[in-house]
Amino acid sequence: MPTGTLRKYVLLIAGVVLALDRLSKWIIANTIPLHDSITVIPGLFKLTHVTNGGAAFGLFSDSPSELRIVFLIFFSLLALIVVSALLWRHTQGLNSTAFALSLILGGALGNLWDRVLSGHVVDFLEFYIGQYVWPDFNIADSAIVIGAAILMVEILFAPKHHKAYEESALPQPTSEAD
C-alpha cells in the first residue's frame, strides 16, 4: 500500500474516533445534567455525566496546582507528537500497529480538545458491580486503552523477526575433524 494511502487510512481512523468522541460527549452534555445518571444495565452499567479535571481515571484531579491543566495539555501534546512521528515513519501497510496508533491518536486528540476548550474532560461511561465502581471514562479513553492493548499484545506475542541473528549468535558446533 502506498504511503499516502496508508496515511489517509490512519487519519480516517483517528478522525472517526475523534468524531465519535466529540458527538458522544455533546449528546451526554446536552441530555444528562451534570452528576446525573441513566441506568443502562442494572447492576453493571450507567451513563453518568461527570467531568474530569485530571488525567486518566481522575489522577491529579484533586491537585490544587494552577499549572495542572498546563502540564496535562503539555504531556498530551508531547504524546501526540510521539504517536504522530511513529505513524509518519510507519509505512509497511495498514497493520495492527498502524491501527493501534491511529486509535491512540484519535483518543488523544479528543481528550486534548476538551482540556484546551474547557479545562476538563467529559466522562460518562460508568461500569460497576455492587459497590465496586470503575472510574468513569469516555470514547477517547477507550480508544487509547484499546490501542495500547493492541500494541502490548503485539510486543508480547509477535513472532521474532530476528531468527537469523539469533542463530548466528549461538555457538556453532565444531566437527571432530577440526
Between CA 175 and CA 177 the distance in angstroms is 5
Question: Among the options 21, 114, 136, 141, which is catalytic?
Answer: 141
Determine the residue type at 123.
Answer: D
On the 0-12 / 13-18 / 19+ scale of CB atoms within 10 A, 172 is exposed
Is 141 a catalytic site residue?
yes
Encode 55-97 in three state secondary structure: CHHHCCCCCCCCCHHHHHHHHHHHHHHHHHHHHHHCCCCCCHH
**Pair 16, 110: CB distance under 8 Å:** no
Question: Among the options 21, 114, 123, 136, which is catalytic?
Answer: 123
Is 114 a catalytic site residue?
no
> Which are the catalytic amino acids?
123, 141
